């Protein structure tokens, strides 16, 4: 009887095995969210076109030191992402899933690092839950599926700061120095991804944390020569070579692109100071209304830690940081998030992905809050009820939004719209259930995004077909070298990528102004429409304009529609149609509203 009772109470799955299954499950869900459907649509301009075209030109020219965009020097970012994407293209070819896979892989590794850090700081349960929070947060998911520098930069910073925490947590000796050196190595990669901003953010985090800890003496250990040597070996070679080959690089990269852009002197992406606060909260997706109380709990823990440091300091002038408490871990994460959001809030130039490096810290803080019973508190239940109402409102608004937009025919989005309505309604029901059974809050918060993901992902290729120029360019037959391609008053980077040639820009310079100024090429930067008309009279030409310009261009009598969608119009002259064998569309086929005319033979 005793043996039978003992056997019946023995867990079918051990705690360690449950942990491993949960860990694997989080990574599996993250992998699906980050990689599924990634090859179903063409590159999205401007960012994806830019970060695909620069590596393509590197592979074409064999020059991996001087980045070029549309064949002019382009020094806005360091080269690590370009090199990584070029490697992916060299192995898998110029496929969209391979290039976006760089961001997906970086994001998946960030989830893994976050799990490991949270496990070390708190517990295995918090670690797995932190991975689940990060994997199912909205802004990290969006950036994992786009080819930009943000996901790779976030991985490098997260790995660097996690290594530094592990070094701080280690006892004095070889392990501490090794972790610090690893942190410097990852910081070097972050600098090669986005530049000196990585140093500023890292310095802010370390100095503020050690000041609160009253342990600035630790900087002597952190600034060890093996770590600094590794950092130098990673960063110095490229900066030296690019500066030697391009004397104009240092001023443009450091002064114009970083200092002047931070101050807003370049007039790019100017936003108010508070812009990133709602972005940080809403970017957490279903976890948004748990984020604020989680931050409140972290602030309380941090205050306890700081006060404790003062008391210890009075008795022991040099307290040892060998075994930090969980309150110190909360302080480290809190400073992490505040430094990232605060620094970019101080900058005049703001884009939503800039604060992506704050999300691993936010994910760990939310996970710890839930693990310590935060989901059962009245504020969390109230947040769940509010989230249910918001999701219900979003589900009701879907059909109205589909009918009010004029980019895609409403009937084209009917199926995915209905699918999304059902997903949002199910997510709302999950949050309503949480108000009764609060322990299910982590499932409801995470599954909200998991349920909404398939229709959202299926909608992107549909909208891209009607919105982006790449959908019109890729069905074209291979263009002979003598066909020149021009774009009027804009520059879609994917044109150069898919057509594999330099684009002639008419009445537009934009982000290529610096490259054009140091390597003037007037034949590729035309100042007026008359120059374009002369170009069209000299041989086959393909021209991209916006559809609203068609009534004016039509009066020239030399260009006919090749393809069009709601936002883009491709035009060709008679030699173009004769050379390619394509047939022009009737001139009155180009109209306002949802439009899709693909190249026809």
pLDDT (tens digit, 9 = 90+) per residue, 81-90?
A: 999 999 999 9
**Who's near 278: CB < 8 A, 6+ residues apart?**
none
Q: How far apart are CA 516 and CA 6, in angstroms?
A: 79
**Who's near 22: CB < 8 A, 6+ residues apart?**
128
Quote the pLDDT of residue 323: 36
Residue ranges with strand state E in 530-587: 541-545, 560-565, 569-572
pLDDT over threshold 60, residue 421: yes
Quote the pLDDT of residue 8: 45
Question: CA 53, 515, 269: angle at the middle one, nearest 5?
Answer: 75
pLDDT over threshold 60, residue 376: yes
pLDDT band at 460 (very low <50, low <70, confident <90, very high): very high
241-273 CB burial, b ≥16 within 10 A, e <16 = ebeeebeebeebbeeebbebbbeeeeeeeebee
Q: Give per-residue pLDDT as tens, 328-365.
A: 999 999 999 999 999 999 988 788 999 999 999 999 99
pLDDT over threshold 90, residue 449: yes
Count CB atoms within 10 A of the CB of residue 390: 15
Q: How far apart are CA 588 and CA 601, in angstroms?
A: 18
Two structure tokens written together for 129:
């839950």
User: With pLDDT > 90 as the criterion, what percentage of the chain qualifies?
Assistant: 78
Quote the pLDDT of residue 266: 56
Q: Alpha helix locations (H) across 284-408?
A: 288-315, 326-346, 359-371, 378-404
Residues 402-406 have a mean pLDDT of 86
pLDDT over threshold 80, residue 422: yes
Q: Which residue has the higher pLDDT, 540 or 251?
A: 540
Quote the pLDDT of residue 269: 67
Closest residue by Cα to residue 205 from 162, 256, 261: 162
pLDDT over threshold 50, residue 540: yes
Residue with tokens 């990584």: 84
Q: What is the mean pLDDT of the chain?
A: 91
Quote the pLDDT of residue 589: 94
Q: How far apart are CA 301 and CA 408, in angstroms?
A: 50
Q: Give per-residue pLDDT as tens, 176-225.
A: 999 999 999 999 999 999 999 999 999 999 999 999 988 888 999 899 88
Residues 54-66 have a mean pLDDT of 97
Q: Give per-residue pLDDT as tens, 215-256.
A: 888 999 899 889 999 999 999 999 999 999 999 999 888 888
Asked if 403 and 324 touch (Cβ cutoff 8 Å), the reply is no
HSE-up of residue 581 (Cα within 13 Å, Cβ side): 6
Q: How far apart are CA 160 and CA 222, in angstroms?
A: 12
Identify the three-state secondary structure at position 122.
Answer: coil
Transcribe 127-184 into DSSP letters.
HHHHHHHHHT-HHHHHHHTS-SSHHHHHHHHHHHHHHHHHHHHSPTTHHHHHHHHHHH
User: Where are the chain's structural domains?
Assistant: 25-268, 375-467, 470-597
pLDDT band at 399 (very low <50, low <70, confident <90, very high): confident
pLDDT band at 11 (very low <50, low <70, confident <90, very high): low
525-543 CB burial, b ≥16 within 10 A, e <16 = bbeebebbeebbeeebbbb
Identify the three-state secondary structure at position 73.
Answer: strand
pLDDT band at 18 (very low <50, low <70, confident <90, very high): confident
Quote the pLDDT of residue 401: 87
Closest residue by Cα to residue 52 from 520, 424, 499, 464: 499
- Specify which residues 379 forms β-bridges with: none
Quote the pLDDT of residue 210: 93
pLDDT over threshold 70, residue 371: yes
Asked if 136 and 285 touch (Cβ cutoff 8 Å), the reply is yes
pTM above 0.75, yes or no: yes
Q: Give per-residue pLDDT as tens, 265-311.
A: 556 667 888 899 999 999 999 999 999 999 999 999 888 888 776 54
pLDDT band at 314 (very low <50, low <70, confident <90, very high): very low
Quote the pLDDT of residue 158: 98
């Amino acid at each position: 009887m005793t043996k039978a009772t003992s056997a019946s109470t023995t867990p079918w799955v051990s705690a360690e095995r449950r942990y491993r299954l949960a860990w694997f499950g989080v990574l599996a869900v993250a992998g699906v969210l980050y990689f599924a459907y990634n090859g179903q649509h063409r590159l999205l301009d401007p960012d994806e076109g830019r970060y695909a075209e620069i590596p393509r030109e590197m592979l074409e020219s064999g020059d991996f030191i001087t980045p070029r965009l549309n064949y002019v020097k382009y020094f806005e970012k360091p080269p690590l992402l370009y090199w990584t994407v070029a490697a992916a293209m060299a192995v898998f070819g110029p496929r969209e899933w391979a290039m976006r896979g760089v961001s997906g892989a970086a994001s998946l590794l960030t989830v893994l690092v976050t799990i490991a850090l949270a496990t070390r700081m708190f517990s295995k349960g918090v670690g797995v839950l932190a991975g689940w929070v990060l994997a199912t947060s909205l802004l990290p998911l969006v950036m994992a599926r786009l080819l930009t520098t943000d996901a790779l930069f976030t991985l490098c910073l997260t790995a660097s700061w996690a290594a530094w925490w592990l070094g701080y947590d280690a006892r004095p000796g070889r392990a501490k120095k090794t972790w610090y050196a690893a942190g410097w190595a990852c910081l070097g990669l972050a600098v090669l991804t986005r530049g000196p901003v990585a140093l500023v953010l890292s310095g802010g985090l370390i100095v503020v944390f050690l000041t609160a800890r009253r342990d600035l003496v630790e900087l002597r250990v952190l600034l060890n020569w093996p770590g600094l040597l590794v950092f130098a070996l990673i960063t110095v070679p490229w900066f030296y070579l690019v500066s030697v080959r391009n004397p104009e690089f240092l001023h443009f990269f450091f002064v114009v692109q970083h200092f002047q852009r931070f101050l807003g002197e370049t007039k790019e992406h100017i936003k108010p100071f508070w812009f990133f606060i709602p972005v940080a909260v809403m970017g957490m997706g279903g976890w948004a209304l748990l984020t604020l109380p989680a931050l409140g709990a972290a602030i309380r823990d941090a205050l306890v830690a700081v006060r404790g440091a003062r008391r210890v300091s009075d008795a022991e002038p040099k307290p040892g940081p060998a075994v930090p408490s969980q309150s110190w871990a909360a302080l480290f994460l809190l400073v992490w998030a505040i430094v990232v959001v605060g620094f970019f809030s101080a900058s005049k130039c703001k884009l939503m992905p800039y604060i992506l490096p704050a999300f691993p810290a936010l994910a760990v803080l939310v996970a710890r809050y839930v693990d310590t019973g935060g989901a059962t508190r009245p504020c969390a239940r109230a947040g769940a009820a509010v989230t249910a109402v918001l999701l219900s409102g979003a589900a009701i608004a879907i059909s109205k939004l589909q009918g009010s937009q004029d980019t895609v025919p409403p009937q084209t989005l009917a199926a995915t719209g209905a699918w999304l309505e059902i997903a949002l309604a199910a997510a709302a029901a999950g949050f309503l259930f949480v108000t009764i059974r609060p322990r299910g809050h982590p499932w409801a918060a995470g599954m909200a995004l998991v349920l909404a993901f398939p229709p959202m992902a299926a909608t992107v290729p549909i909208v891209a077909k009607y919105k982006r120029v790449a959908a019109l360019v890729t069905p074209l037959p291979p263009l002979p070298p003598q066909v020149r391609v021009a774009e009027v008053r804009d520059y879609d980077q994917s044109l150069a990528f898919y057509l594999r040639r330099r684009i002639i820009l008419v009445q537009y310079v934009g982000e290529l102004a610096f490259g054009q100024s140091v390597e003037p090429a007037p034949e590729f930067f035309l100042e007026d429409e008359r120059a374009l008309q002369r170009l069209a009279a000299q041989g086959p030409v393909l021209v991209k304009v916006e559809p609203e310009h068609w009534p004016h261009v039509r009066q020239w009598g030399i260009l006919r529609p090749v393809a069009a969608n709601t936002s883009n119009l491709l035009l060709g002259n008679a030699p173009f149609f004769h050379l390619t064998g394509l047939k022009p569309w009737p001139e009155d086929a180009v109209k306002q509203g949802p439009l899709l005319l693909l190249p026809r033979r």
